[in-house]
A = this chain, B = another copy of it.
Amino acid sequence: MPGKVTVLGSGSWGLALSNLLVTDPSSVSIWPPTSEEKRLLTTSRENPAALPGVRLASDVAICDDLTVRGAPLHVILAVPSHAVRAVASRVSLPPEPPSDSTIICAAKGIETDTLKRMSEVLKDVLPAAWSSRIVILSGPSHAEEVARGIPTAIVVASSNVEAAKAAQALLAHERFRVYVSDDVVGVELGGALKNIIAIAAGITDGLGYGDNTKGALLTRGMVEIARLGVAMGARERTFAGLTGIGDLITTCISRHSRNRYVGQELGKGRTLESILGGMTMVAEGVRTTRAARALAEKYQVSMPITVQVNKILFEGQPPEQAMLELMLRDPKTEDGIPLSHLKEPKSP
Contacts and interface: CB of A to CB of B under 8 A. Distances in A.
Number of copies: 2
A209 B175 CA distance: 11
A153 B327 contact: yes
Contact of A177 (B210, B248, B327): B327
A151 B249 contact: no
A136 B340 CA distance: 21
A289 interface: no
B245 A180 contact: no
B153 A216 contact: yes
Given A155-B334, A237-B340, A339-B241, A213 B168 contact: no
Contact of A151 (B237, B243, B327, B333): B327
Interface residues of A, number: 64
Contacts of A250: 211-212, 214-215
Interface in A293-348: 323-324, 327-328, 331-335, 337-340, 344, 348
Interface of A: 139-142, 145-146, 148, 150-153, 155, 168, 172, 174-175, 177-181, 204, 209-216, 218-219, 222-223, 237, 240-243, 245-251, 253-254, 256, 323-324, 327-328, 331-335, 337-340, 344, 348
Given A146-B212, A152-B212, A219-B240, 18 more contacts: A139-B216, A140-B219, A141-B212, A151-B209, A151-B213, A152-B213, A177-B216, A177-B328, A178-B331, A179-B332, A179-B333, A179-B334, A179-B337, A180-B331, A212-B250, A215-B251, A218-B245, A219-B241
Q: 3 tightest CB-CB pairs across the interface, nearest first?
A: A140-B215, A215-B250, A179-B334
